[in-house]
């Protein structure tokens, strides 16, 4: 896995081994059949994730919660990082799990285990407003 952390305006995409099937390309839990293809990578064994990325907190990078696809990372096991700084989610203390139901993703950070500095919507709105007044 090549982890390139050059930061530019362009988002780059990395191809990584599929966490859900561990790169095998087959359904790891044999829900349909043990020979059926992995629903995350479509049997290719690799998935594309925007880089830089980090391990998904909710599933610990495995892409699965018990036998279900992790809702936080969509089964890829990785979460793309935002360009700005992130902070540990105070709701789940960085575990990405809903405290009352650990198989569910934390609602505050959506299972990532971290949140953006400020909060997404408000900072985006503030940015747009600033841009609007300047123009």
Q: Which is nearer to Zn ion, 7 or 20 (CB)?
A: 20
ω into 40 cis (within 30 of 0): no
CB of residue 130 to Zn ion, shortest distance in Å? 28
- 8-state DSSP, 87: E
Residue number, 103 or 128, with CB nearest to Zn ion: 103
Pairing of strands 68-69, 64-65: antiparallel
Angstrom distance (rounded) from CA 83 to CA 74: 21
CB of 82 to Zn ion, least distance (A): 15
Report the interface residues with Zn ion, using CB under 5 A: 18, 20-21, 38, 40-41, 56, 58-59, 70, 72-73, 89, 91-92, 106, 108-109
- According to DSSP, residue 81 is labeled P
C-alpha dihedral sign at 124, 125, 131, 135: positive
Min CB(4)–Zn ion separation in Å: 22
Closest CB 131 distance from Zn ion, rounded Å: 30
CA pair distance 11, 6, nearest whole angstrom: 10
Taking the least distance from each CB to Zn ion, the nearer of 7 and 107 is: 107
Closest to Zn ion by CB, 12 vs 47, is 47
């Amino acid at each position: 896995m090549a982890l390139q952390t050059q930061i530019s305006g362009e988002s780059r995409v990395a191809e990584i081994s599929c966490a859900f099937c561990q790169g095998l390309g087959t359904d790891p839990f044999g829900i349909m059949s043990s020979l059926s293809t992995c629903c995350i990578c479509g049997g290719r064994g690799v998935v594309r994730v925007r880089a830089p990325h980090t391990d998904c907190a909710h599933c610990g990078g495995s892409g699965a919660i018990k036998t279900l696809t992790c809702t936080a990372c969509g089964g890829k096991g990785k979460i793309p990082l935002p360009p700005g700084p992130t902070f540990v989610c105070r709701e789940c203390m960085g575990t990405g799990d809903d405290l009352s139901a650990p198989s569910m993703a934390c609602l505050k950070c959506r299972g990532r285990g971290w949140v953006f500095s400020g909060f997404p919507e408000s900072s985006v709105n503030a940015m747009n407003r600033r841009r609007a007044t300047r123009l």
